[in-house]
A = this chain, B = another copy of it.
Amino acid sequence: MAEPKSNELMEKIVSLCKRRGFIYQSSEIYGGINGFWDYGPLGAELKRHVKDAWWKTMVRLRDDVAGLEATIIMSPKIWQASGHVDTFSDPMIDCKTCKGRFRADQTDEIPCPQKPSKCVNECHGEKTEPRAFNLMFQTYVGPVQDDSSVAYLRPETAQAIFAQFKNVLETSRQRVPFGIAQIGKAFRNEVTPRNYTFRSREFEQMELEFFIRPDEVVEAICGGVAKPEGDGHPGDPQPNWGWQLWHKYWVEERIRFYEGIGLPRNTLVEYWQTRQELAHYARATVDILYKFPFSKRDEKGELKGEELEGIAARSDFDLSQHERFSGKPMGVFDEELRVAWKNLDQAKQDELWKRYYEARKGYLERSGVDAEQASKDATEDADGLARGQYIPHVIEPSAGVDRLILALIADAYSEVTETDPKGKSETRVILKFHPRVAPIKVAVLPLLKNKPELVAKAMQVFNTLRREMNAYYDDGGSIGRRYARQDEAGTPFCVTIDFETLEGMKDGEWAGQTDTVTLRHRDGGRQERVKISEVLPVLLERVR
């Protein structure tokens, strides 16, 4: 089904992003490189603000999250433990006629590179059987290139968090429940990068691994596990929360985050993965989708949305895998559990022991450990409960920075058509970014650039503001044109120093009474007089 309107919008967005320096094609002067995108001056600021907002919300404003910044290249054993070496692949086929390589599920969609000269699009000539093509970029570390020096560019930031779990636990004074957060680049050698920056080969993630007590431990300590009730945010975390409430909590926290940086709830879709879609270790996964212009439509013609973030309840799978592969214990000691366990009656101990045992045994068997050994290991694991020991479970809110940037730009994009007194009409772009993420927070504009008093005052205001937020000084062209330029960059506020400002002067000194400026709001174009001393606090309140 053709969707001319959406495609047209995407074309406008791509064009604007290039023209205003949000996004360029990587290596453009060399013809580009497929699946790689650079952020220009405005894009780099937008991205910084988004990442800073995430870090502030997820790390600095929380007592229960610690930050981490790990390397992109790690020991390849990490990717064996995580399953990426074995299973992170697409099935590919080669066409013997045109020598092209295609994803097995896309041979009908992807045009033949030599079409129509050598092979027919529909069949791609004679094909090989599908073979697994790993999506991790591979390289070699050290001077010798052999099997022992193979390494990978991380395909996700999450695994570094699991690998450093014990180090962070031991050095940060955190106790379960707590989280470890990381922002950083990840790489996937996508066969067909597409939809502009949405599916690219190099991208950035913002991931939190939030470690929680298994439900059996919560029950031992609190006497029961609270269950989710009704819709909406479940409120402040409570000791009797099990994985379901923690999962719900993080879904709602993350939606609040998106609302807080300007994506209205009605542009988002909360999609619960079906049992068939879930990874084998996942108990539940909610994808937060944004309705991009290029999203497919459902039967009713509504945009279905594409993933911005996945919030997965991953049980104890990841830490268990790293424990098995590294031989290093990944369990924690929990004094509250040790004390509580002693006070349980035998029947309760047996019941909790059995449930924990079954879960551990299930994991071990699914991981290929034989039944007898699994039973033995699971017994040992469950025995640990009495000593206050267990492997934490995890809730993982995992977001893509570049997708979010694209969603913010798409959502901010709007056009306004204005007709001048001569009847000539012009359509221009306004990017309605939330002040928290807007690349430039405020532009300072002297009404005229050839009036030294206006310029001096404007510079003074500008120098005060720029210390606290990203500000821009512009004295070129008519004031209307300068406003339009800022609208297109998504700047929420303009401060204009005009003749009314100067009326506050007396004998070259500032008398102070009417020391005001025009504060112009991007959205709606509203203008108000504000005292100079009020400008900074008024803006700070809105941009933070």
Residues of A participating in the B interface, judged by any CB pair closer than 8 Å:
18-21, 24, 26-41, 43-45, 47-48, 55, 60-61, 63, 66-75, 77-78, 92, 101, 133, 137-144, 151, 153, 160, 163-164, 166-168, 171-173, 185, 187, 189, 191, 201-202, 322, 325-326, 328, 466-467, 470, 473, 476, 544
Contacts and interface: CB of A to CB of B under 8 A. Distances in A.
Contact of A18 (B21, B72, B171): B171
- Chain A binding surface, main DSSP class: mixed
A41 B73 contact: no
Contact of A72 (B34, B43, B70, B185): B185
Nearest to A171: B21
B466 A326 contact: no
Contact of A33 (B20, B73, B140): B73
26 contacts: A21-B168, A24-B167, A27-B75, A27-B77, A29-B163, A29-B166, A29-B326, A30-B75, A30-B77, A30-B163, A30-B326, A32-B75, A33-B151, A35-B141, A36-B73, A40-B167, A44-B68, A47-B69, A61-B466, A73-B137, A73-B202, A133-B143, A138-B139, A138-B140, A142-B189, A173-B476
B26 A74 contact: yes
A202 B43 contact: no
B41 A168 contact: yes
A22 to B, nearest CB: 9
B74 A36 contact: yes
Nearest to A55: B48
B544 A164 contact: no
Contacts of A75: 26-27, 30-33
B29 A69 contact: no
Contacts of A191: 142-143
A71 B171 contact: no
Contacts of A18: 167, 171
9 shortest interchain CB distances as A-B pairs? A21-B171, A27-B75, A41-B66, A44-B67, A39-B69, A30-B75, A38-B70, A29-B326, A44-B69
Given A38-B71, A40-B167, A201-B73, A29 B143 contact: no
A185 B63 CA distance: 29
A134 to B, nearest CB: 10
Residue of A21, A137, A153, A322 ringed by the most chain B CB atoms within 10 A: A21
Given A26-B75, A39-B68, A41-B67, 5 more contacts: A21-B66, A26-B73, A39-B69, A44-B68, A139-B153
A47 B71 CA distance: 14
A31 B326 CA distance: 9
Given A69-B39, A171-B41, A328-B29, A467 B74 contact: no
A39 B452 CA distance: 50
A178 to B, nearest CB: 11
A349 B261 CA distance: 56
Contact of A70 (B26, B67, B78, B143): B26
- Interface centre among A18, A40, A187, by most B CB within 10 Å? A40
Given A26-B75, A28-B163, A189-B141, A68 B41 contact: yes
Contact of A141 (B28, B69, B185, B201): B201
Contacts of A26: 70-71, 73-75, 160
A202 B71 contact: yes
Contacts of A172: 21, 40-41
Contacts of A466: 60-61
Contact of A60 (B35, B470, B473, B476): B470
A155 to B, nearest CB: 13
A167 B27 contact: no
Contacts of A34: 141-142
Given A60-B470, A189-B141, A68 B30 contact: no
A510 to B, nearest CB: 23
A185 B470 CA distance: 24
A338 to B, nearest CB: 19
A153 to B, nearest CB: 7
